[in-house]
Amino acid sequence: GAPNVSTATAVREQHGHDESMHPCAPPDAVVWPQAVGQVQELAALCHRNRVPMVPFGTGTGLEGGVNAMQ
């Protein structure tokens, strides 16, 4: 629901880049699961619908690994 999902531009841009030189490639949505079961359900849902999941930690990576390319 709303407290755990955001499609706001600012939130998406924050999660669409790290410390690398690569330009921002924001995801379509950002989700904050609160329990392991929610992570499992989210992974299953994304798998069924062929939606890529991009994990985001602190955003300090240097490779552009958090960029949502698809």
Highest mean pLDDT pick, 1-15, 36-50, 51-65: 36-50
pLDDT of residue 56: 84
Average pLDDT of the residues in 12-40 = 91
**16 exposed, middle or buried (CB, 10 Å; 0-12, 13-18, 19+)?**
buried
Question: To the nearest whole percent, how much of the chain has pLDDT over 70?
Answer: 99
Region 1-69: CATH code: 3.30.43.10
- Please report how many Cα atoms fall inside a 13 Å half-sphere around the Cα of residue 34, on the Cβ side: 5
Q: Are 53 and 47 in contact (CB under 8 A)?
A: no
